[in-house]
Amino acid sequence: MAEQQRGSVTLMDVAARAGVSLATASRALNGSTRRVGDDLRERVLAAARSLNYAPNAQAQAMARGQTNVVGLVVQDIADPYFSSIAAGVMGAAEGHQVLVTLGSTLRRSEREVDYLVAARGQRSRAVILAGSRMDDDDHAQALRREVEIFENDGGTVVAISQKHLPVDTVVIENRIGARDLAAELVALGYRRFGVLAGADRMLTSRDRVHGFRDGLGRSGVDLDPAFVLHGAFTRDGGYEAMQTLLDSGGELDCVFAVNDVMAVGAMAACRERGLAVPDDLGLAGFDDISTLRDVYPALTTVRLPLEKVGATAFDLVLSAPERTKPRTRRIKGEVVLRQSTRRID
């Protein structure tokens, strides 16, 4: 006898079935301080179970004035860099009774603002902004403004990448990692470097290039600006930049691609030209994307604990204090020498 056409069972249904008041039912099911008689509590629980009661989270949120929604905004969820971070966030959220909503900006930073507004509408507890900032970002000001509004409403914002927003931030030590890599490569004997960079506006790319140049400098090696090529921060970007670099005719002995995905593209370009890595040319990347650990020859790179980055961001959300100075968590990379570079004389 179609007991319910559509629309779910409510707390009232449960209360009625258990023969108690709404308040008692609420307390028995979701109340914090358990001050309900055991007998009644039992009846309520039984009623809820038999009715398949699921509390209306929206209504709870309204009544409580807060939600357990955390927004995660990435540039591209299909990019292993971001999906690893996302996995870290999800893992850390596990068991904390929070709902993670996913936003993908497709590398258009103005979308970040949209997501922030949406998150505010959802009364989200927090938003994690994962992704490199652009230097000349037209939307930087709009973002700052929206962040401020969101925080004024009581929300928490956590950023991942660079410290460019006055919020808790997981800073990825791109410069240091690239510097260390440069030092190791010089130690191997490399001297004439080329660099495959992303867009110059992209801070992550720029930091890695600067750090690399800095590391070379400390070892007394110069980096010829003519051999620093800019392309898309993708496989194809690396492929094309490498082609251009090879066409330029510079006599290089090692190439640093600012991320693994670009490095893989570069490797493909080398292969096409019959250039052997590492025999004819050393090649290094950055990130240590786990899916790419088995490329051959194995890529020398800077390992970033991406899942830990995500987990750390989530920890910052959980431990967000009332309103203090923004905190910073620094995460360093670790140079991993593999077969794409070798000792040369």
Partner DNA sequence: TTGTATGCGTTATCAG
Partner DNA sequence: CTGATAACGCATACAA
Is 46 a binding residue for DNA by CB under 7 A? The answer is no
Task: In angstroms, give the least distance from the CB of 36 to DNA.
Answer: 4
113 binding partner (options a copy of itself, DNA, none; Cβ < 5 to 8 Å by kind): none
Task: In angstroms, give the least distance from the CB of 49 to DNA.
Answer: 14
CB 87, CB 64: distance < 8 Å:
no
Classify the C-alpha dihedral 325-86-339-258 as positive or negative.
Answer: negative
CB 331, CB 313: distance < 8 Å:
no
Write out the residues near a copy of itself by the rule CB under 8 A: 4, 6-8, 52, 54-59, 61-62, 65, 67, 72, 76-80, 83-84, 86-87, 90-91, 94, 99-104, 106, 117-118, 120-123, 149, 152-154, 235, 261, 264-265, 267-268, 271, 289-296, 307
203 binding partner (options a copy of itself, DNA, none; Cβ < 5 to 8 Å by kind): none
Is 23 a binding residue for DNA by CB under 7 A? The answer is yes
CB atoms < 10 A from the CB of 298, how many? 15
| Start-to-end Cα distance in the chain | 86
Strand partners, 73: 103, 129
CA atoms of 192 and 151, how far apart (whole Å): 48
CB 322, CB 166: distance < 8 Å:
no
For 60, the token pair is: 């709870």
Task: In angstroms, give the least distance from the CB of 34 to DNA.
Answer: 7
**334-336/301-303 β-pairing:** antiparallel
200 binding partner (options a copy of itself, DNA, none; Cβ < 5 to 8 Å by kind): none
Q: Is the Cβ of residue 215 or residue 265 nearer to a copy of itself in the bound state? A: 265
Is 30 a binding residue for DNA by CB under 7 A? The answer is yes
Task: In angstroms, give the least distance from the CB of 102 to DNA.
Answer: 24
